[in-house]
Structure 1
Amino acid sequence: MVDIDVPVWAARLRSLRRGRLWSRRELGKRMVDAADETSRDRLPAQETLAWMIQLWEAGEGRPDERYAELLCRAFGVDEKELFVGEATGTTLWHHLTGIPLMPGMFTADEEERTGRAIEQPQRADEGTVGYFRAILDAYTRTDLRPADLINVLRPVFAGIEEFHRDSSAPVRRAFLLLAAENAELISRMHHEAGDPDGALTWSDEAIHDAREAADTLLEAYTLAQRGGLSDVGGSPGQLVALAVAARERADLPPHMDALSRHHEAQGHALAGDLDMCHRRLEESAQSLAEPGDDTPYRFDCSPEAHNTLCVGCLVDLGRARGAIELLEAGPPKAPMTYASAYALARMAHAFADAHERERSVETARQALAVARQTGALRALRELAKVQIPPQAARRRRILV
């Protein structure tokens, strides 16, 4: 492994922070939270702490005893693990590749063997595949900010792609399958982050890799997810065709079948076809209720997600009252995620279309707060479509 121009402890500090998806400012805040009341009052402002962390990560000075203790508390590691450590090679390869360092998830042996495979892809084996699979699973979460996930998943994708090109035949296809799943996840995050071009580009990559791997179920999954980019581009007919193509490619497990029918319903709603939209929504609900699903891919096909999509279809069809009935029966859950931000934005849209002024404004306010907190730019785009009635114009200015 080639050497780097910063001390190992500085590289480890940076890798630990990036693996947790923390900005330097966020790490500074966590250091403040980790301090006791007496020492907290003596700490500098968060902007200054963030600047100090930047200097430490560049190797320009080392934290003194006080700051070292706070860093260890923030990361949940001991001082030896952060500033001494025996796994120098592990720190170096994480620093060089940008692949997140996740203490406690892998053994020292697993880290060492993966690092050696990074240097010589021919050494990659099923353990290397499992290592990257575990990272991908760890970051498939709706409580993380989409833009942060994009940043952490790109180097993971680059590593998987290198193994797909250069590893030996026994594991090459496994890496190609992982590449398709990773690209699909990045596509979704671009979608949630308000980047339609990025969403389509990565969706194309996912479909291409799935087809190259000749895995019909994975190809069906990527096609069904592409159909979910309904607010990115394409005609309603194209969305319907993608959803139908997904079901034609393979015998889908129930929840994947529900996903495909969800997105076909969106296409029909955008085309104004009420009967076909309702039919597909009913079918998707039936598939969602079937037990024993062993779908191998991660996506949100919960009853809450189904209700959100039904609300969106009814809004697109101009049937706001029906959307409100659904909302009142099953409102979005409380957790602050990009998914709940979009659900709230759809609620605000439905209330506005039904001339429920006060409820529209209040819901839009909630959606805005959650969207800003979670980085849900897709939700912000939905809010921009909400036409709050004139009587609420004064309140609307508060939301801008």
Structure 2
Amino acid sequence: MPGSETRPAWAVRLRVEREERLWDIAEMARQLRHTAGNARLPDIETVSRMIKKWESGKHLPGERYQLLYSRALGIARTVLFETAPYQAQSVQEPVDVAGVADEIARMGAWAESSNVGEHTLAYHNDAVRRLARDYLQQPPLLILQRTATLAREVFRLLQNGHQRLDQTRELLITTAKICALMSWISGDLGQPAAAETHAGTAWGLAHQAGDPAAQALALSTRSKLAFWDGRLELAAQLARHGYDLSVNDTMKVFLACQEADAWQALGDIPRAREALRNAEAARENIDQPDSVGGVFSCGVARQCNYTAGVHLRAADPDGALRQTERGLDAYSHGEEWAYGTWGQIHIGMAMARIAKQQLDGAASALRPVLGLPAEQRLSTLATRLSHLGRVLEGPRFQTSTEARTLRSEIREYRAITAS
């Protein structure tokens, strides 16, 4: 038929799955290289040319690249690259109708049984929530180990047993949440390749389950990774996609804040302010509890931290100070404390003080962060402190003893970080 799709089904799937994730071809190439880890692949441009040929259906990827695609997209290789069409078998012998009925009855009885119950499903879902909450205050490596143990338990249920379809969907959703949490922690530990792998798996599982809350969670982790990798426009797009998918919980607020953060980093203050308005609107419309919470929740303090960042980029240190003070005040009035956000608020306060030439105030704001134990010195905090240190290396601070002391303390902090 004229105009009909002539590409193989696997080629169509490769393009559809890539575009579902808002990845261009170069980004797909980066994902394959990330997934390969220490196994060296050709450069981005070469892999991009290969991807174009694969998506056109001209060449089927070899076994190595099929495995990398499967890991990067979080989809089983057999599903992604299935090429054999279904062919009906001709009947060569008389059919035992009664025997077939008995066999189907046995299959039906098997399908009604399950290796999980409602208690098991609830337990694993609650376990993810506890880990996400514990991560706010406990060392990341400890939580990563506990989360990995939980992941193995849930994957074992999926792989070694069978469930009703609704139960399988619940397990997929729970596993997507677990992988999103592992991605977040890995990123905080400065392990971007591992974080990308977990995030891709989280998105694949959430997409397969068709759960908007889990999809939003996965998009949040992917936005974070794109942000710290310098892919700021992609970070904004992923956050906005998650915002549009999200249910009305604080995760929707958080995704709007992530979008604002990406736009301010690009210097697009009008778009950043628009995203902040979306965050305020989302907070006013919250009508349900968070599906995970903890590190995937957004209280007033966390929202203030992102808002302060936009004020700093807009050269409004007074506005930034008001937001950081409001954020710390939220913690003092009982909002659940998270040392990562708390640390970033203090760093934002220090940046505002430096902009106002108040180095003594900046030093006071930084002291609590610089005193964090090694196991809580997240890569994200170290990166922000590194930026602050570069500001203190500017010409106007060259003769300042306070600036020199702060630069030295920041170097000492960054020498010992969580890993």
Taking structure 1 as the reference length, the TM-score comes to 0.63
Structure 2: how far apart are the matches of 1:329 and 1:125? Answer: 45
Mapped pair 1:393 → 2:388: no
**Number of aligned residues:** 279
Q: Which residue of 1 aligns with 2:300?
A: 303
1:224/1:246 contact within 8 Å kept: yes
**2:348 alignment counterpart:** 346
CA distance in 2, matches of 1:329, 1:129: 39
Q: Distance in 2 between matches of 1:163 and 1:276?
A: 44
Instruction: Report the CA distance between 1:373 and its aligned residue.
Output: 5.9
Which residue in the other structure is 2:20 paired with? none
Give the Å deviation of 1:206: 0.9
Deviation at residue 205 of structure 1 after TM alignment: 1.5
Alpha-carbon distance in 1 for matches of 2:129, 2:246: 24
Q: In the alignment, which of 367, 370, 376 is matched to residue 369 of structure 2?
A: 367
- CA deviation after TM superposition for structure 1 residue 210, in Å: 0.4
Distance in 2, Cα, partners of 1:273 & 1:355 = 25
1:137 aligned residue? 129
Residues 352, 190 of structure 1: CA spacing in aligned structure 2 closer, same or farther, 3 A cutoff? farther
**Cα gap change, 1:362 to 1:379, in 2 (>3 Å):** same
1:379 has 2:360 as partner = no
Take 1:380 and 1:186, find their aligned partners in 2: how far apart are those partners? 20
In structure 1, distance between residues paired with 2:313 and 2:206: 32
- Mark the CA change 1:213 to 1:234 in structure 2 (over 3 Å): closer, same or farther: farther
**Alignment counterpart, residue 203 of structure 1, candidates 185, 199, 202:** 199
Q: 1-side partners of 2:409 and 2:215: how far apart?
A: 45
Q: Does residue 156 of structure 1 match 2:166?
A: no
Displacement after TM superposition at 1:243 (Å): 2.0
- Structure 2: which amino acid aligns with 1:344? H
Please tell me whether the aligned partners of residues 321 and 349 of structure 2 are also in contact (alpha carbons under 8 angstroms).
Answer: yes
Aligned with 2:258 (options 263, 267, 291): 263
Which piece of structure 1 moves more, 256-265 or 385-394? 385-394
Percent identity reads 16
5+ long unaligned stretches in structure 1: 1-120
Calculate the TM-score normalised by the size of structure 2. Answer: 0.61
Letter in 1 for 2:270: D
The answer as to whether partners of 2:324 and 2:345 remain within 8 angstroms in 1 is: no
Give 2:185's match in structure 1, choosing from 184, 189, 196: 189
Cα distance change on mapping 1:146 and 1:339 into 2, 3 Å? farther
Further displaced range: 330-339 or 256-265:
330-339
With over 3 angstroms needed to count, the CA separation of the structure-2 counterparts of 1:231 and 1:160, relative to structure 1, is: same
Distance 1:373 1:350 in 2: 27
Given residue 156 of structure 1, which amino acid in structure 2 is its aligned partner?
Answer: L
8 Å contact from structure 2 (residues 370, 409) kept in 1: no
> Which piece of structure 1 moves more, 276-285 or 333-342?
333-342
Take 2:370 and 2:290, find their aligned partners in 1: how far apart are those partners?
Answer: 33
- For 1:290, the equivalent position in structure 2 comes to 285
CA gap 1:255/1:137 in 2 versus in 1, 3 angstroms: closer
Q: Provide the rounded CA distance (Å) in 1 between the counterparts of 2:205 and 2:313.
A: 33
Residues 256 and 337 of structure 1, relative CA distance in 2, 3 Å threshold: closer
Which residue identity does 1:216 align to in structure 2? P
Judge conservation of contact 2:259–2:275 (CA < 8 Å) in 1.
Answer: yes
Give deviations 1:182-218, integer Å, cap 9, x for gaps. 1111111123333333322221111111012122332
Find out whether 1:147 has 2:141 as its counterpart. yes
Task: State which structure, 1 or 2, has the greater radius of gyration over its C-alpha atoms.
Answer: 2
Q: CA, structure 1 residues 247+305, in 2 after alignment: closer, same or farther (shift >3 Å)?
A: closer
CA RMSD of aligned residues (A): 2.5
1-structure distance, mates of 2:349, 2:141:
24
Looking at structure 2, the residues matched to 353 and 235 of structure 1 have their Cα atoms a distance apart, in angstroms, of: 27
Aligned residue identity for 2:278: E
Structure 1 position 128, deviation (Å): 2.2
Structure 2: where are the runs of 5+ without partners?
1-112, 413-419
Q: In structure 2, give the amino acid aligned to 1:342.
A: Q
Task: Please say if 1:326 is aligned against 2:329.
Answer: no
Number of the residue aligned with 1:3: none
1:291 positional shift: 4.8
Shift of 1:270: 1.4
1:185 is matched by which residue type in structure 2? L
Contact 1:342-1:376 within 8 A present in 2 as well? no
Give the counterpart of 2:209 among 204, 213, 216. Answer: 213
Shift of the alpha carbon at 1:371? 5.8
